[in-house]
Structure 1
Amino acid sequence: MVLPPGFESDTPDQVCKLKRSLYGLKQASRQWNAKLTKALQVDGFQQSSADPSLFTKAVDNSFIALLIYVDDILVAGTDSKQIQGLKQMLDDSFKIKDLGQLNYFLGIEAIRSPNGLNLCQRKYTLDILQENGFLDAKPAKTPCSQSHKLTSTDGILLHKPEIFRRLVGKLLYLTNTRPDIAYAVQQLSQYVDKPRDTQLAAAHRVLRYLKGSPGKGLFYSSASQIKLQGFSDSDWANCTETRKSITGYCIYLGNSLVSWKTKKQATVSKSSSEAEYRALASTFCEIQWLIYLLTDLNIQCSSPIALFCDNRSAVAIGENHVFHERTKHI
């Protein structure tokens, strides 16, 4: 390690030997994760293969799940004594701070009740509205206009594109609890390279929509069934410039929404059936990942999982792969 400026030394070309990772170095996060993982595994925790940030431990009839985001940790379990022992172990190893019951985590507000858990980002939404001057704006009923389509040629280039990029980045994080704006934000995120005033106006439309319901979020019922079901859809050749289709899906665990996505497909589909079938494949991959995740949480999905699609041709291809020889390229 090169000596810091202002440090005087009699020996020329002297360097310092680095014996430990310092906070802020590129290697620090990796070293911290490796040390925390080793400490948890020594304590009997198993690292999930589906999500490396999830650790689980089953002892007799008790079960503990631990979720890590850098140095922020969520703990859930069935035995309070086991949880207290875990916190004591972490405090002995790393000197942690116990923040009590889950109320606020990474910008997400959690409200617990006997009926279930409600997640929202109300404070985060109000901060975005205040930063962009939309606290007193007139609310909009929808996040985007159905008739107007964005292009990379309409409008005037913005003099300060970083304003648009910062806004889209914050809206992307807001989709963690607001699936209703996922499609609108997906459309806006395609133009962060060279944004124009028309795209900024569309982003302001999303802010006006959020103004009408800043506290809207997700509710997870405590009486929900452990049953997965997925819904898949596709908009064929929606992009007027690339003619690529858009995949959209949502997956429910009982009556609770647990996964959703809106994303442009990587290739051009020659028919609506092909676009729908690609969306089915993406939804199936997500369902398979959720099955692995539930297995790590000691939850077995014994019943078949229903996957819904509104395209008969795509359903026929999914039921009979051999008969449709023209779908080999998919």
Structure 2
Amino acid sequence: MQPPPGYSVPEGMVCRLRRSLYGLKQAPRAWFQRFAYVVTATGFSAGAHDPALFVHTSSRGRTLLLYVDDMIITGDDPQHIAFVKARLGEQCLMSDLGPLHYFVGTEVSSTHEGFYLSQEKYIQGLLDRASITNHRTDETPMELNVHLSATDGEPLDDPTRYLHIVGSLVYLGVTCPDISYYMHILSQFVSAPTQLHYSHLLRVLRYLHGTMSRRLFFPCSSSLQLQAYCDATWASDSSDRQSLSAYCVFLSGSLIAWKTKKQTAVSRSSTEAELRAMALVMAEMTWLRWLLVDFGVSYGAISIARDPVKHELTKHIGVDAYYTHAQS
């Protein structure tokens, strides 16, 4: 690395760093250790299932602190929240932005009924960078029954824009579950995109242009019950015959988690593909249940998962079936 501006190093000499500089590989870890030390000194303890979540419990209530690149402090103990902000202000350079409205690209608005999450500003910025200036929109992200392959169309002369847009759209998965499946498809061609792949990518952008005002809603009053749904398409990828798993998880009717992912092994039957999808969603449900426990919420495929008998034709998928049965 080059010495910082203003420092001259004689030839043949090196610098010894006493602290981590911004940009070094170890800098984020050193900063997080410092941050964790400060917040634990105020009475917080790290969440057992998410190292970026810190929890404080007292007779006045519970306080939660979520750290990413920025911080969200919430809870029903305003006295401790004020104390934590004061301590952080003494130990670190920080700004109190007041009530939550914007957090790492996600817009948050609140009403008496609940909270709304959206990324309208982020989508508009992406459309501007992609030079989508007309008002044309599409009702769906992709046409029905489209099957793309790596050899479709002519290769792009410069795939930089394709890579940039795909990477930006992946981040939109925070609030746009409706494009999850299509981004799973288009992201498979980032190593060698073609003109046809790029045309389908532009269709996704035109769809977002017409739906950017849609938001996720989380009501204030709910029973905090988890519900999950999963599905699988058996041997749907013609290039390698791998199946596709997908799931969505609801908390009291509000969508909080979703994923579309190609299965790592080739399933020999639709039953096996379904069980792999069930194991995937059960792993997510297990983590979410433990995360809710950190929040202070306690929690005291169907026929094969409930049946302890392993049939001869399905014993090769016993691991996923046993895991799903054990977590049910």
Q: Deviations over 1:202-238 (max 9, x none)?
A: 1111111111111112110112221011001111111
CA distance 1:129–1:323, shift in 2 (3 Å): same
Name which of structure 1's ranges 279-288 and 141-150 shifts more when overlaid on structure 2. 141-150
Partner of residue 8, structure 2: 7
2:143 equivalent among 142, 145, 158: 145
Q: Is the 8 A contact 1:2 1:16 kept in 2?
A: no
Counterparts of 1:142-291 in structure 2, within 5 Å, are: 142-291=140-289
Partner of residue 90, structure 2: 92
SS at match of 1:144: coil
Partner of residue 329, structure 1: 316
Residue 316 of structure 1: how far off its partner (Å): 1.8
Q: Is the 8 A contact 2:184 2:261 kept in 1?
A: yes
Q: Deviations over 1:54-77 (max 9, x none)?
A: 10010113111000113x111111
Residue 183 of structure 1: how far off its partner (Å): 0.5
Q: Is the 8 A contact 1:221 1:255 kept in 2?
A: no
SS at match of 1:96: coil
**Distance across 2 between alignment mates of 1:4 and 1:205:** 45
Q: Deviations over 1:275-320 (max 9, x none)?
A: 1111001011100000110011111123xxxxxxxxxxx4221111
Paired amino acid for 2:245: T
Residue 3 of structure 1: how far off its partner (Å): 6.0
Q: Deviations over 1:127-148 (max 9, x none)?
A: 1112222232421111111122
Partner of residue 75, structure 2: 77
CA distance 1:3–1:271, shift in 2 (3 Å): closer
Q: Is the 8 A contact 1:158 1:197 kept in 2?
A: yes
Q: Is the 8 A contact 1:249 1:283 kept in 2?
A: yes
Aligned residues between the structures? 316
Q: Is the 8 A contact 1:54 1:66 kept in 2?
A: yes
Q: Deviations over 1:122-172 (max 9, x none)?
A: 011111112222232421111111122111111000011111111001110
Partner of residue 136, structure 1: 134
CA distance 1:292–1:14, shift in 2 (3 Å): same
Partner of residue 55, structure 2: 56
Identical-residue share of aligned pairs (%): 38
SS at match of 1:50: coil
Quote the RMSD (CA, aligned, Å). Answer: 1.7
SS at match of 2:283: helix
Q: Is the 8 A contact 2:289 2:299 kept in 1?
A: yes
Partner of residue 30, structure 2: 31
SS at match of 1:136: coil
CA distance 1:112–1:190, shift in 2 (3 Å): same
Q: Is the 8 A contact 1:22 1:28 kept in 2?
A: yes
Q: Is the 8 A contact 1:155 1:196 kept in 2?
A: yes
SS at match of 1:26: coil
Paired amino acid for 1:35: R
**Distance across 1 between alignment mates of 2:297 and 2:181:** 31
Residue 8 of structure 1: how far off its partner (Å): 6.2
Counterparts of 1:297-312 in structure 2, within 5 Å, are: 297-302=295-300
Partner of residue 121, structure 1: 119
Partner of residue 315, structure 1: 302
TM-score of the superposition, structure 2-length normalised?
Answer: 0.92
Partner of residue 105, structure 1: 103
CA distance 1:265–1:28, shift in 2 (3 Å): same
Partner of residue 307, structure 1: none
Residue 84 of structure 1: how far off its partner (Å): 0.5
**Distance across 2 between alignment mates of 1:239 and 1:120:** 32
Residue 121 of structure 1: how far off its partner (Å): 0.3
Question: Is 1:65 matched with 2:52?
Answer: no
**Distance across 2 between alignment mates of 1:194 and 1:280:** 32
CA distance 1:154–1:15, shift in 2 (3 Å): closer
Q: Deviations over 1:241-295 (max 9, x none)?
A: 0111111100111011111001111011111111111100101110000011001
SS at match of 1:158: coil
CA distance 1:2–1:191, shift in 2 (3 Å): closer
**Distance across 2 between alignment mates of 1:252 and 1:146:** 26
SS at match of 2:174: coil
TM-score of the superposition, structure 1-length normalised?
Answer: 0.92
Paired amino acid for 1:103: H
Residue 322 of structure 1: how far off its partner (Å): 2.3
**Distance across 2 between alignment mates of 1:229 and 1:250:** 8
SS at match of 1:328: helix
SS at match of 1:33: helix
